[in-house]
Structure 1
Amino acid sequence: MRAAIGLWRWRHNPLRRTTDLVEAWVAFVAAVLLCVLVPLTGWAAGSSADDSLQRAVRVQQEQRVPTTARVVRAVEPPASRSGTAEDAGDERLRRQVVARWTAPDGSPRTGTVTTARRTSAPGTAFALWTDRDGRPAPAPMQAGTARAHAAVAGLTAALLTGVLVEIVRRLAVRRLVLLRYARLDRAWAATGPDWGRTGTGS
């Protein structure tokens, strides 16, 4: 709105310079782009990311099978193991266990998996995801999680587009200001030596 008002103000102003009009047009175009291009870019990026992630969700749900595993025994970490504070915090919440489960083809499987620490007692049952061959696999991504990631991607694209538009506008305005100063310097250089003298301009 301010850009449109500024453009209208400069239309018939006798003090208007060419750079003033160009600067008003730059501000107007930037405002239009911020109102139109930024939302469109965010929507397009978010929609594209959502389509891709939803396809990944469907593939993961088709390729992974939920089953129930039972803990055989806990796996004690090596005594000499040294890790970061993040690793230590993860160990307090989760631990590795030897567990037994049934593969999709009905065959029994045994292997080392990571589970919540409260389910690490021998004989405890816990949910486990496997691939079609019966190997442990991460849980498939949920559709809601995919939509959240797509929304973040759309917002990020919109924000970056807005920042780019503002950077271009500022560079254009800076160029116009430098051009305006250069013209003032040339005008002063032409009239400055005779400034205040009697008969100047006669």
Structure 2
Amino acid sequence: MTRTPPQTITPIRLWRWRRNPLRRHGDLVEAWVVLLTWILVVLGGALAGWAAASSVDSALAVRRDQVHEVRAVLTGPAPKTAPSRGGYDDDRVWTKVRWTDAKGAVHTDKAKVSPGTPAGTSVTLWTDGSGRTVPPPASEAESLLQTVLTGVLVAQVTGTAVWAAGRLACGTLVRRRLAEWDEEWSRVGPEWRRLSGGRG
């Protein structure tokens, strides 16, 4: 007895874009939604990442322009031991320092130095336009890393959000198509059973 080889169904690629009697309007809409979703995932994510990276880079550049480096000296010896404040503080101590700005004005503040640093030792500080001490700006390597990471993160989040919106839209179209099939089958089903003699 000869066995009939099983038939394989070859999928027709891009069938939603081709004219055929089985294609519905919803199929074409779904194809457009999928295409636009992927375009927006790639382009939207890239543009959002670039915009975020540019914004961070500009903010860091402005920050670097607003502060400048000064040399200060300790007005007295630093304490020999650092107070114990838990594991989140470094081993340095606060001590009073003095410096003169470019206009000749004398400023005093506190800076962190190693315990036991003698008076008169020179230390580097960063100040803003009003002469207040501020944290040092990010280095060029740190700025580049922060800019790149921000751009990548924003691009990924934007692409994921667009993809999720596209999936939600496609899910809505699929549910609508299934509802249309149920409605059509409720009309055609009884006639189909009558013609097939009650089978199926």
Bin the TM-score by the shorter chain: 0.7 to 0.9
- TM-score, normalised to structure 1, is 0.72
Q: CA–CA distance in 2 between the matches of 1:187 and 1:24? A: 22
Q: Is the 1:72–1:100 Cα contact (8 Å) retained in structure 2?
A: no
Secondary structure, aligned partner of 1:45: helix
5 Å matches for 1:25-36? 25-36=32-43
Q: CA–CA distance in 2 between the matches of 1:146 and 1:69? A: 29
Give the counterpart of 1:113 among 84, 106, 111: 111
Q: Is the 2:33–2:169 Cα contact (8 Å) retained in structure 1?
A: yes
Verify: 1:169 aligned to 2:166, yes or no. yes
Unpaired segments of 5 or more residues in structure 2?
A: 1-11
Aligned equivalent of 2:138:
141
Verify: 1:51 aligned to 2:48, yes or no. no
Q: Is the 2:72–2:122 Cα contact (8 Å) retained in structure 1?
A: yes
- TM-score, normalised to structure 2, is 0.72
Unpaired segments of 5 or more residues in structure 1?
A: 79-86
Percent identical pairs in the alignment equals 29
Q: Is the 1:54–1:143 Cα contact (8 Å) retained in structure 2?
A: no
Q: CA–CA distance in 2 between the matches of 1:175 and 1:21? A: 14
Q: CA–CA distance in 1 between the matches of 2:189 and 2:94? A: 88
Secondary structure, aligned partner of 2:77: strand
Aligned equivalent of 1:155:
152
Matched residue type, 1:65:
E
Verify: 1:72 aligned to 2:68, yes or no. no
| Counterparts in 2 of 1:66 and 1:161: CA distance versus 1, 3 Å | same
Per residue, is there more helix in 1 or in 2? 1
Q: CA–CA distance in 2 between the matches of 1:163 and 1:57? A: 33
Secondary structure, aligned partner of 1:97: strand
| Counterparts in 2 of 1:9 and 1:192: CA distance versus 1, 3 Å | closer
Q: Is the 2:57–2:143 Cα contact (8 Å) retained in structure 1?
A: yes
Supply the RMSD in Å over aligned alpha carbons.
3.0
| Counterparts in 2 of 1:137 and 1:45: CA distance versus 1, 3 Å | closer
The number of residue pairs the alignment matches comes to: 180
Q: CA–CA distance in 1 between the matches of 2:24 and 2:105? A: 83
